[in-house]
Amino acid sequence: MQALLRTKFQLRPPPMNDMYNDLLQIDPKVIITTNYDELIEKNFDHYSGGASSHSIRTQISKSLLSDLRSPVRSIVKLHGCITDIDNIVLDRRSFFKAQAENIGFFDIIRSLMSVNTVLFLGYSMSDPDIQLILENTNMSSSSSNPHYALVQKFEHPAIKVANSQTYNTLFLEYPTGDHGKFPIALNQLREQVKQVRLDRGIS
């Protein structure tokens, strides 16, 4: 099993993609991912010329709160990282175990999703762990300001409405299978963020 996971997720050399450069330039303080691979951090190192200073935190990390209260940028791997296979979350049972053993970490994740507007990229909203966090957050502290998600077009408008109401998320759809729209949208977002920062005098 470990050899299979390494073959699939620990790619050498890791593929480079301009989308990660756009994400790096947008400069979010916290990136949360359910992926095991190292694509984000390796691409950030590449496009920053080795200057990227993002910390990598997994569900067993004890220093996430310290990072959030500091200038550090963090990549949070909710299901673990391929560099630590023994602690990877593979199913609902292991996710339950991870939550039970790292209550503080998941309290922080729930807090982040409660007090911040989250932008979901490359995520289908199908992960039950994220669904549960969003559902609980929406039930306990609803907000008129939604999260946002760039996703493929839903099969039926009713599914979109149900998901939007359940997760308090506004879905920005692109045509099914037309993944070429995704990097274009991300690049446009990068330029818009850059312009807003210029307008506000933020370097």
For residue 165, give Cα distances in angstroms to 111, 120, 134, 138, 146.
Answer: 20, 16, 11, 9, 10
Distance between CA atoms of residues 170 and 55, nearest Å: 29
Q: How confident is the model at residue 94 (pLDDT cuts 50, 70, 90)?
A: confident
Partners of 150 in the beta sheet? Answer: 121, 172
Distance between CA atoms of residues 94 and 97, nearest Å: 5
**pLDDT for 158-167, tens place per residue?**
999 999 999 9
**pLDDT for 121-150, tens place per residue?**
988 777 888 888 899 889 988 889 999 999
**pLDDT for 31-65, tens place per residue?**
999 999 999 999 999 999 988 889 999 999 999 99
Dihedral over alpha carbons 70, 187, 43, 113 (to 10 degrees): 40
